[in-house]
Amino acid sequence: MATYVSLLKYTQKGVESIKQVPARIEAARAAAKAVGAEIKQFYLVMGRYDVVVISEAPDDETAAKLALATGMQGNIQTETLRAFNEAEFRKIVAGLP
């Protein structure tokens, strides 16, 4: 499966309901599992972003649907990056001219 790094920022609505985040994390895990994806790690961070989520999904379309569905709730803004592990990186580099 492909790996994704999602950078999340809480909206005002999200901050106002911050105590509900643990339940929302569990709901996100269930939604991911339902489409064959998995949230591997959740990190509260300090700085430009509020949360970093590491997840795996079978393809980019699935990852995009999950990000959009999560963002539709209005609690967060997301930026999702496709991450390539070392083996994938080596394969990409080996194919360069």
Domain residues of the chain, as ranges? 2-85
| pLDDT at 65 (0 to 100) | 94
**Phi, psi angles (nearest 5°) of residue 45:** -130, 165
The pLDDT of residue 29 = 96
Query: Per CATH, which fold does 2-85 belong to?
Result: Alpha-Beta Plaits (3.30.70)
C-beta separation of 4 from 80 below 8 A: yes
What is the predicted pLDDT for the residue at 10? 97
State pTM to two decimals: 0.91
Q: Which pLDDT tens digit goes with each residue over 11-26?
A: 999 999 999 999 999 9
CB atoms inside a 10 Å sphere around CB 91: 11
From 33, 14, 16, select the one nearest 24 (Cα to Cα). Answer: 14
Q: What is the pLDDT of residues 35-90, one digit of tens each?
A: 999 999 999 999 999 999 999 999 999 999 999 999 999 999 999 999 999 999 99
CA–CA dist 80, 64 (Å, integer):
8
